[in-house]
Structure 1
């Protein structure tokens, strides 16, 4: 996108938006010398700057004077995206009230809900869901908001998404579920939330189970949760310890190969219990 050189007044306008100086913002708008959606060298508008910084008064004033809530930076980010990324709930609520599209997408198909989930902003996620955000809208690699929350260890966000009906076993393109990612990353609190929704505990399209993933990376707390749940789900201890991945290895063998001694010790104890 070709951008014209900023005037001195444009620069002042952007600085006022960035700093949250609402009075200065109004005075500059009153001069008639600035365009409400003027862009800096990166294609960023005053509304995007104020939204990113959480300056709710400036956001409200700019929207009242006709700023476009759907304006994009050169990389596709709108005011709603940057507010969701930074967790500025009042700004998010104001943008939604003014008609911002909660199901808009960036170039990689990530939605505002995905961005909020990735950054652990539970209240922002709830606001987006209340406004009609699609709970399972996935990025181009098919990662869902729940998947990214699980990978990042955001328990409260995962809980909110699950309560809103998120698919517990929605796969990313590599065949991994949210449970697998949480287990191999060691996010035991997220694993516990996911287990409430009866996720797949068996072998996944990626050739592993969540238990194998946890065992491989030495995530003992997750191994304990997953092994206990498999037993509670009707699998006896033998079935838990002999579950084989695509390479024909049990969780115990995977842990042994990776040198995860505490996991090996626990699984051996489980075998003999």
Structure 2
């Protein structure tokens, strides 16, 4: 597998050196589907780098578009991960599939959403990607986009039927993760599309509690517009008490102004 000629093919694919790649492939001494010890192909390397001409040359020389390396990643996965819209489009023209998963359940769609590549997300969905894909821990494309703060991707996923309240296995919803990360615009969009403002994670915390702990006041202001419960407890503490313990003075003012009870509940 790791012969000098194979290494040269990989080098050419990685650098986007089309003349060298053509010379090596046309020599008849190395296969277009040559791969390394973990199953990485030259097509994957070229796709990872966004080298359109090299990707096309490898495809025309017979490279397997849908081959998966040991981790489950494919050429489509790598090009989607890095947002190479033209490469993704080319792979689809030659039969790339959106159905393949990595060992952790990742797909081309989940990784494109994670990194906020909106044009690639649109292309994937138009070519059969499943908006309800899930990682092994239950994280959906919408969850990953919310975690990254990618508003455009979130709007598109919701318009394609993504479930706004679909939690990860530990009960974490897209709204909760967006609140934790301080993505106020994401929180605004999710709430406007019916996100459960009072959804409780397995540890007992809500989006409001987490935002108060982190001092994300912009998030709290968006949540307060939808009248979240101020009295839901996590380990005997409310969002107000979390803000107090974290020393978030402005957050305390916000919550008191919204009517939060300053007294600790009976244990």
TM norm. shorter chain > 0.5: yes
Answer yes or no: is the 8 Å Cα contact 2:65–2:96 preserved in 1: yes
Tell me the equivalent position of 1:24: 54
1:205 to partner: Cα distance: 5.2
CA contact (8 A) 2:145 2:154 kept: yes
Matches of residues 241-256 of structure 1 in structure 2 within 5 Å? 241=262, 243-247=263-267
Q: Is the 8 A contact 1:153 1:187 kept in 2?
A: yes
- In structure 2, distance between residues paired with 1:124 and 1:135: 13
The answer to whether structure 1 residue 152 and structure 2 residue 181 are counterparts is yes
Number of matched residues? 232
Normalising to structure 1: TM-score of the pair? 0.81
Does residue 64 of structure 1 match 2:93? yes
Matched, 1:7 2:34: yes
SS in structure 2 opposite 1:230? coil
Q: Are the equivalent residues in 2 in contact too, given 1:63–1:69 (CA < 8 A)?
A: no
Structure 2 unaligned blocks of 5 or more:
1-32
Alpha-carbon distance between aligned partners in 1 of 2:103 and 2:136, rounded to the nearest angstrom? 10
Q: Is the 8 A contact 1:113 1:145 kept in 2?
A: yes
Distance of aligned partners of 1:203 and 1:137 in 2 relative to their CA distance in 1, 3 Å threshold = closer
TM, length-normalised to structure 2: 0.83
In 2, Cα distance between equivalents of 1:148 and 1:164: 16
5+ residue gaps, structure 1, are 1-5, 232-239, 248-273
Conserved 8 A contact 1:203-1:245: no
Query: What is the Cα-based RMSD across aligned positions, in Å?
Result: 1.6
**CA displacement, residues 86-133 of structure 1 (integer Å, 9 cap, x when unaligned):** 111100010011121111111101100001101111111111111110
Q: CA deviation at 1:246?
A: 4.9
Cα distance, 1:53 vs. partner? Answer: 0.7
Q: Which residue of 2 aligns with 1:226?
A: 255
Which of 148, 153, 170 lines up with 2:199 in the alignment?
A: 170
Q: Is the 8 A contact 1:183 1:191 kept in 2?
A: yes
User: Which whole-Å CA distance do the structure 2 matches of 1:181 and 1:77 have between them?
Assistant: 27
Deviation per residue, 1:42-71 (Å, 9 max, x gap): 321000000011100111111221111121
Contact kept, 8 Å, 1:80 with 1:100, in 2: the verdict is yes
Return the alpha-carbon distance in structure 2 between the equivalents of residues 246 and 39 of structure 1: 56
